[in-house]
Amino acid sequence: MGKIVEATVNDTCHILNLQKLAYVSEAEIYNDYTIMPLKEDLETAKKSFEKNIVLKYVEDDVIIGSVRAFQEDGVCYINKLMVHPACRNRGIGQALMEEIEVKFDPVVYRLFTGAKSEKNIFLYEKLGYSVYRTGKFDFEDTEFVFMEKEQRPV
C-alpha cells in the first residue's frame, strides 16, 4: 500500500523520469513524441515547484505517481497527473486527484487532457469533471478537451 505526500524540489529528477515514462502512452495515441511532457527539462520541472503544490504517490520508497496544481483567481489548475505504466488501474490516479483537490479552498477545478485520451477523460468524468471547451495550444498540434468542476463549500 502506498502513501501520498507532498513532493519537494529534491524529488524533481525522479518525478521527471516518471513523467517521461508515463507520457509515452499519450504520445503513442497521437503518434507525436514531441508533446510537451516528454520535452520538459529538469530546470523547468524544478521551477514548477515555485508555483505548484506537487504531490507524489510513494510505494516501497519509489515514486510511482504524481500530480501538480496551483490556484489563481479562484481557479485551481491541475496538471501533470501521472502514474507509472506498470501501476495503472489501481486507483492511484484517482487518489492523487482527490488529495490534490483538498489542498485548495473551495474553487473551480480545471484541467485539460488530449481529446483522444479516453481513459483520462473517463477518470475525470468519474470524478465529476465535464468538458467546457476543446482547443489547441500554440506549441502543440494535439487537440485537447478542457474540463472543470465546481467544488461547493460543505
Average the pLDDT over 90-118 and give the result. Answer: 94
pLDDT at 106 over 80: no
Residue 99: is its pLDDT beyond 80?
A: yes
User: Which fold does the domain 3-107 belong to in CATH?
Assistant: Aminopeptidase (3.40.630)
| CB-CB contact of 100 with 127 (8 Å) | no
- The pLDDT value given to residue 121: 96
3-class SS of residue 41: coil
Domain ranges of the chain: 3-107
Q: What is the mean pLDDT of residues 125-144?
A: 90
Q: Where are the alpha helices (DSSP H) in the chain?
A: 12-22, 24-30, 36-39, 42-51, 92-101, 118-126
Question: For residue 93, what pLDDT band results from cuts at 50, 70 and 90?
Answer: very high
Choose between 142 and 22: higher pLDDT: 22
Query: For residue range 36-81, what is the model confidence (pLDDT) as tens digits?
Result: 999 999 999 999 999 999 999 999 999 999 999 999 999 999 999 9
The CB-side HSE value for 126 (13 A sphere, CA atoms) comes to 12
**pLDDT value, residue 107:** 86
Place of cell 488529495: 99
What pLDDT, on a 0 to 100 scale, did the predictor assign at position 152? Answer: 62
Q: Which three cell numbers stand for residue 76?
A: 485551481
CA dihedral 91, 150, 148, 53 (to 10 degrees): -60
The whole-number pLDDT of residue 71 equals 95
pLDDT at 137: 82
- pLDDT number for residue 154: 55
pLDDT at 153: 57
- For the question of whether the overall pTM of this predicted structure is more than 0.75, the answer is yes
pLDDT for res 151: 77
